[in-house]
Amino acid sequence: MLSYDVIEWGKPLEKAEGEIPKPKGTEVLLRLKYCGVCHSDVHIREGYFELGGGKRLLMTERGMSLPATLGHEPYGTVIAAGPDAADAPIGEDRLVYPWTGCGACARCREGLDNFCMAPAMIGIQRRGGYADHLIVPHPRYLIDAAGIDPTWAAILACSGLSTYAAVSKLNPIPPEEWVAVIGGGGLGLSAIGMLKALGHQHIVVVDIDDAKLKAAKTAGAAATVKGGDADSGKEMQRIAAGPLCAAVDLVGTNETASLALGTLRKGGRLVLVGLYGGEIPLSVVATIQRALTIQGSHLGTVAELKAVLALAREGKIQPIPILKRPLSEVSRTLDELKQGAIVGRVVVEM
- For Zn ion, the binding residues (CB under 5 A) are 38, 40, 101-102, 105, 108, 116, 158
Distance of closest approach, residue 57 Cβ to Zn ion, in angstroms = 16
Neighbours of 102 (CB within 10 A): 15
Of 233 and 300, the one with the shorter C-beta distance to Zn ion is 300
Of 112 and 239, the one with the shorter C-beta distance to Zn ion is 112
Of 162 and 232, the one with the shorter C-beta distance to Zn ion is 162
Instruction: List, in order, residues 6 or more apart from 299 with CB less than 8 Å away.
Output: 99, 114, 158, 161, 162, 165
Neighbours of 42 (CB within 10 A): 17
Distance of closest approach, residue 282 Cβ to Zn ion, in angstroms = 28
Of 245 and 271, the one with the shorter C-beta distance to Zn ion is 271
Of 121 and 148, the one with the shorter C-beta distance to Zn ion is 121
Integer Cα distance of 162 and 264 in angstroms: 22
Neighbours of 218 (CB within 10 A): 10
Query: Cα–Cα distances in Å, from 6 out to 14, 16, 152, 207, 260?
Result: 7, 10, 25, 33, 37
Integer Cα distance of 338 and 335 in angstroms: 5
Q: Please tell me the chain's helix, strand, coil percentages from 3-state DSSP, rounded to the nearest 5.
A: 30, 25, 45
Of 263 and 297, the one with the shorter C-beta distance to Zn ion is 297
The identity of residue 147, as a single letter, is G
Give the nearest residue (CB) to Zn ion.
38
Q: Are the beta carbons of 289 and 178 closer than 8 angstroms?
A: no
Of 54 and 321, the one with the shorter C-beta distance to Zn ion is 321
Distance of closest approach, residue 40 Cβ to Zn ion, in angstroms = 5
Distance of closest approach, residue 36 Cβ to Zn ion, in angstroms = 7
Q: Are the beta carbons of 101 and 41 closer than 8 angstroms?
A: no
Distance of closest approach, residue 137 Cβ to Zn ion, in angstroms = 11
Distance of closest approach, residue 156 Cβ to Zn ion, in angstroms = 11
Of 43 and 212, the one with the shorter C-beta distance to Zn ion is 43
Distance of closest approach, residue 124 Cβ to Zn ion, in angstroms = 10
Distance of closest approach, residue 346 Cβ to Zn ion, in angstroms = 12
Closest CA to 146 of 329, 18, 309, 275: 309
Residue 279 β-bridge partners: none
Of 24 and 109, the one with the shorter C-beta distance to Zn ion is 109
Neighbours of 86 (CB within 10 A): 9
Distance of closest approach, residue 273 Cβ to Zn ion, in angstroms = 12
- Please list, residue by residue across 288-323, b when 16 or more beta carbons sit within 10 angstroms of its beta carbon and e when fewer do: eebebebeebebbbbebbebbbebbeeeebebbebe
Residue 325 β-bridge partners: 348
Helices (H), the chain: 40-46, 106-109, 150-155, 161-168, 186-197, 210-218, 232-239, 254-262, 284-289, 302-313, 330-338
